[in-house]
């Protein structure tokens, strides 16, 4: 009951909702770069939202299945095929034992997510299955996937109920210019008014120095009042760090827990999917929003995901009915 990695792709790793609770000890959160894509993929196959998935970067892996299961692929469109026949993104489908999943071309975004019904059988380390490569923990031996890795299914479910309905419109579309909403802070007061204006009005381009730790951008220099160094403090996902040179870096899933550079703003949670799908050459404009609006949007997104879950119904046949059946039998 597993998949065998026949080709690892560029950077494929096991990730989930992240390692929560250990930042105070210097342990990075890790987890997926596009949390919404992971959640939708998991909901489509009937998993808990934060179940571990495979995160595939730009060039996807080649995976051979030796057991039946239902999977769904979301996020960036990396051109998935099953036994060389194109398969749809954002739809759950059955893969039979003996079939091979491949990715053929990058059409949109940067990262695809593969959710497997019943989850992947890799050990929990500090409460998470996420791969944290710098410390060598989580996922498969704490590293990115490589050829001949075998990853087991925990509780495969090839008979997911309501399969035909388990699809949504693709959410990552081909696009190279983005508007990302931010909340100013925590160190916006260490920039000049002109620096803040530059940050909120100019366009910034993603350089080729982008990875799971951060995304380095190029564009007009953002002016500090007094240099870019601070006494180290905590760093959130989506923090926009501006070192002395004045060029922004968006801090991502594998960011270090603390850092000593000024952070001008933080991307809001509902826009994490945008920054998680950026690639070199993409252009970004930052616009300011309010904490009330940001939290309102986040709650609305959660409600929408809950609605989708409810509409799709349970992935396995209701146990309640079984009990009812046995109950009646007993009475008879």
Partner 1 sequence: MPTVRFLLTGDTSLSVEFGNEISEEINAQIRAFVIALEKSDIPGLIELVPTYRACMVHYDPGVITYAALTKRLAGVLDRLDSIVIPPSDVLEIPVLYGGEEMGPDLAFVAAHAGLSEQEVVNIHTATEYLIYMLGFTPGFTYLGGMSERIAAPRLPQPRVRIPAGSVGIAGKQTGVYPIDSPGGWQLIGRTPVKMYDPNRETPILPKAGQYIRFRAVDRAEYDEIAAAAEKGEYVCRIYPRDKEAAK
Q: Compute φ and ψ for 222, nearest 5 degrees.
A: -95, 120
Joined tokens for residue 293: 């609006």
Among the residue ranges 49-57, 168-176, 209-217, 287-295, the one whose residues contact partner 1 (CB under 8 A): 287-295
Among the residue ranges 1-9, 155-163, 197-205, 264-272, the one whose residues contact partner 1 (CB under 8 A): 264-272
Residue 126 binding partner 1, by CB under 8 A? yes
Member of 26, 227, 281, 314 binding partner 1 (CB under 8 A):
26
Residues 285, 157: Cα–Cα separation, whole Å: 43
Residue 295 binding partner 1, by CB under 8 A? yes
Member of 2, 7, 23, 99 binding partner 1 (CB under 8 A):
23
Minimum CB distance to partner 1, residue 234 (Å):
3
Task: For residue 283, give the 3-state DSSP assignment.
Answer: strand
Residue 236 binding partner 1, by CB under 8 A? yes
Size of the site for partner 1 (CB under 8 A): 43
Residue 22 binding partner 1, by CB under 8 A? yes
Joined tokens for residue 19: 């390692």
Task: For residue 139, give the 3-state DSSP assignment.
Answer: coil
Binding to partner 1 (CB under 8 A) within 92-121 occurs at: none
Among the residue ranges 35-43, 133-141, 161-169, 195-203, the one whose residues contact partner 1 (CB under 8 A): 133-141
45 neighbors 166 (Cβ within 8 angstroms): yes
Sheet of strand 111-116, all strands in order from the earlier edge strand to the far edge: 12-15, 53-57, 111-116, 69-75, 92-95
Helix extents (H) in the chain: 35-44, 193-201, 272-276, 291-312, 319-331
Member of 159, 209, 218, 233 binding partner 1 (CB under 8 A):
233
- Taking the least distance from each CB to partner 1, the nearer of 223 and 301 is 301
DSSP letters for 33-75: S-HHHHHHHHHHTT--TT--EEEEESS--EEEESS-EEEEEEE
Q: Enumerate the β-bridge partners of residue 178.
A: 284
Minimum CB distance to partner 1, residue 307 (Å):
15
Minimum CB distance to partner 1, residue 299 (Å):
6
Q: Compute φ and ψ for 214, nearest 5 degrees.
A: -165, 170
Query: ω before 186 within 30° of 0 (cis)?
Result: yes
Minimum CB distance to partner 1, residue 328 (Å):
40
Minimum CB distance to partner 1, residue 160 (Å):
28
Member of 263, 277, 282, 286 binding partner 1 (CB under 8 A):
263
- Taking the least distance from each CB to partner 1, the nearer of 27 and 200 is 27
Residue 234 binding partner 1, by CB under 8 A? yes
Among the residue ranges 34-42, 62-70, 197-205, 226-234, the one whose residues contact partner 1 (CB under 8 A): 226-234
298 neighbors 277 (Cβ within 8 angstroms): no
Minimum CB distance to partner 1, residue 254 (Å):
12
Joined tokens for residue 134: 């710098």
Member of 38, 92, 206, 239 binding partner 1 (CB under 8 A):
239
Residues 67, 60: Cα–Cα separation, whole Å: 20
Residue 256 binding partner 1, by CB under 8 A? yes
Residues 277, 265: Cα–Cα separation, whole Å: 19
Residues 147, 32: Cα–Cα separation, whole Å: 22
Residues that bind partner 1 (CB under 8 A): 20-27, 125-126, 134-137, 183-187, 231-234, 236-239, 256-259, 263, 266-269, 291-292, 294-295, 298-299, 302
């Amino acid at each position: 009951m597993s998949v065998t990695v026949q080709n690892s792709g560029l950077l494929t790793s096991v990730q989930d909702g992240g390692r929560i609770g250990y930042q105070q000890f210097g342990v990075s959160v890790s987890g997926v770069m596009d949390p919404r894509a992971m959640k939708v993929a998991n909901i489509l196959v009937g998993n808990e939202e934060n179940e571990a998935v495979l995160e595939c970067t730009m060039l996807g892996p080649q995976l051979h299945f030796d057991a039946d299961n239902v999977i769904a692929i979301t996020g960036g469109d990396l051109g998935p095929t099953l036994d060389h026949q194109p398969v749809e993104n954002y739809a759950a489908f059955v893969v039979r034992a003996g079939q091979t999943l491949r990715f053929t071309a990058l059409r949109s975004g940067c990262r695809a997510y593969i959710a497997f019904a019943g989850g992947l059988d890799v050990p929990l380390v500090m409460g998470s299955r996420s791969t944290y490569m710098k410390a060598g923990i989580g996922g498969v031996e704490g590293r990115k996937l490589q050829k001949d890795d075998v990853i087991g299914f925990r509780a495969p479910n090839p008979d997911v109920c309501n399969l035909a309905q388990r699809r949504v419109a693709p959410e990552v579309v081909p696009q190279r210019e983005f508007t990302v909403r931010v909340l100013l802070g925590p160190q916006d007061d260490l920039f000049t008014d002109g620096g803040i204006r530059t940050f909120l009005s100019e366009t910034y381009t993603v350089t080729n120095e982008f990875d799971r730790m951060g995304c380095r951008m190029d564009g007009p220099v953002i002016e500090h009042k007094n240099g870019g160094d601070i006494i180290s403090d905590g760093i959130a996902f989506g923090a926009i760090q501006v070192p002395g040179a004045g060029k922004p870096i968006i801090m991502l899933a594998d960011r270090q827990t603390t850092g000593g550079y000024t952070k001008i703003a933080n991307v809001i949670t509902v826009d994490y999917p945008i920054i998680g799908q950026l690639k070199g050459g993409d252009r970004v404009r930052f616009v300011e929003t309010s904490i009330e609006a940001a939290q309102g949007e986040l709650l609305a997104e959660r409600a929408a995901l809950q609605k989708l879950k409810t509409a799709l119904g349970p992935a396995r046949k209701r146990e309640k009915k079984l009990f009812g059946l046995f109950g009646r039998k007993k009475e008879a």
